[in-house]
Amino acid sequence: MISVDIDAFDLGDLAEDLRRAPDRVDEKVRRAVKANERDVVRTAKRDAPVRTPPPTDPRKPPGGHLRKSISADRDSDGMGYEAGPTADYGRHVEFGTRPHEISMKPGGPMLYFPDVHDVWHLRERVWHPGTSPQPYMLPSFDRHLPEFVDELGDIVERIL
């Protein structure tokens, strides 16, 4: 025969702990999301390609418009976020582009492009060979996902 002795006081404490658990979980998850957001943005800014080299002084912000445009917007409940560049060409850098035609806009300036001998020519349209992908956002998310998942697991373990 198994005997179990349950004190009513212990049950009251357990019930109160369970009532407060959602609030504690929410706050801990919000902190984990905020930390993950900070890490993802920092890594993406570091890894984003730039045409000009970043400054050698670590106290100065990284060079390049693309890097400077990377930021995040947290959801109103603090449980998620979106991160990426605001530079209009950020997607093209991340995923690359297919070969495509570039033509001048009506009434706009003519296009100047160098040939293989580095002689510049005036053109109304040119064929762009496309660009290779240079991922910086997706690798940043991938890099920080395991630690974020581990942190969420730790939160659940501590609460239970």
Residue 4, pLDDT > 50, answer: no
78/7 Cα distance (integer angstroms): 38
Specify the number of domains making up the chain: 2
Do 125 and 61 lie in one domain? The reply is no
Specify if 3 maps to a domain: no
12-39 average pLDDT score: 82
In a domain, 75, yes or no: yes
pLDDT digits (tens, 9 = 90+) for 43-59: 999 999 987 665 666 66
Whether 138 is in a domain gets the answer yes
Q: pLDDT tens-digit profile of 78-88?
A: 999 999 999 99
pLDDT tier, 91 (very low <50, low <70, confident <90, very high otherwise): very high
Q: Euclidean distance between the first and final Cα of the chain, in Å?
A: 28
> Who contacts 26 (Cβ-Cβ below 8 Å, separation ≥6)?
79
Are 38 and 48 in the same domain? yes
